[in-house]
Amino acid sequence: MRIRQAVRDVAVLTVRNLIHIRREPLRLSDATVQPVLFTLLFIYVLGAGIILPHGGTYTEFAIAGLLAMNLVTSAIGTAVGLSDDLVSGVIDRFRTLPMWKPAVLVGRSLTDLLTAMLCGTFVVLTGVVVGWRPHGDVGSVIGGFALFLLFSYALSWGCACIGLFSRDAESSQGLGLVLLFPLAIISDALVPVQRMALVPRTIAEWNPVSAVTTASRRLLGNPGAATGIHAWPLEHPVLASVLWSVALLIVFAPLAARLYRTRTAD
């Protein structure tokens, strides 16, 4: 009975978040407009000056990286949404209801997982328009996208911690951008790590975004998957991606629950 109530509470709050987005559709600009702009700009501007170490077109190299970058940066929406709910006082009203308390966090994370799926769809559709194609079999292609969604979901719990730590939506957005943008850029998402200087290359090799991007390139059958690099995450990217995602969930989900209890304590 308690499990059924918890599932119902999570479903109700997820639908509530979706209705809120429908009433303010501009909230989805980072999942709809931004992916299209980033894909076109990076492929046609940055791609003109990038030579891949092992050949291949920059378009097929870049799509996996653009998926990673857009999903990482759009995860900031979790922080902004939670912080906005806390400041507006709606969380205080939820606390007066006979509901499963963590449903607020779980509902938010599921809403943002759906947003990540929408964001990824726009990147893929834009990539198809400009000439990108996956070359793996159906199972591998599905696995490549599943890795992105798993990592995005895990990262959303870290962003939930940012939103619960910040005092308002503006500060949570600023803090999230400061933390997540370097995570997306200092990786092999948009440029091969082989061409980086020693310090950023070392960071990029152990960056979880690099592992997820490299794994997805291999599963999608696109060129540019790191070769000749002796860093464990890029030698075993699929396993590293799963381990990174699980580690993020283990660390940030309990931390978010604790911060939520602290922030909403009487």
pLDDT number for residue 251: 96
Residue 91: band (very low, low, confident or very high) from pLDDT cuts 50, 70, 90: confident
What's the number of CA atoms in the CB half-sphere (13 Å) around residue 228? 7
Is 220 within 8 Å of 135 (Cβ atoms)? yes
Instruction: Determine phi and psi for 101, rounding to 5 degrees.
Output: -60, -45
Distance (Å, rounded) from C-alpha 86 to C-alpha 260? Answer: 10
Nearest to 105 by CA among 23, 6, 209, 242: 6
Structure token pair of residue 21: 């987005």
pLDDT, tens digit (0-9, with 9 covering 90-100), for 203-212: 999 999 999 9
pLDDT number for residue 229: 75
pLDDT number for residue 177: 86
Range 97-102 average pLDDT? 84
Range 131-151 average pLDDT? 92
Mean pLDDT, the chain, whole residue set: 87
Query: For a pLDDT cut of 70, what percent of the chain falls above it?
Result: 96
pLDDT number for residue 230: 79
Q: How remote is the C-alpha of 230 from its chain's centroid?
A: 26
pLDDT, tens digit (0-9, with 9 covering 90-100), for 26-39: 777 778 888 899 89
pLDDT number for residue 194: 81
Distance (Å, rounded) from C-alpha 108 to C-alpha 76? Answer: 12
Does residue 181 carry a pLDDT above 80?
yes
- Specify the length of the chain in residues: 266
Does residue 266 carry a pLDDT above 80?
no
What's the number of CA atoms in the CB half-sphere (13 Å) around residue 70? 33
Residue 221 is given by DSSP the state T
Does residue 144 carry a pLDDT above 80?
yes
pLDDT number for residue 87: 84
pLDDT number for residue 214: 92
Residue 22: count of CB within 10 angstroms of its CB: 10
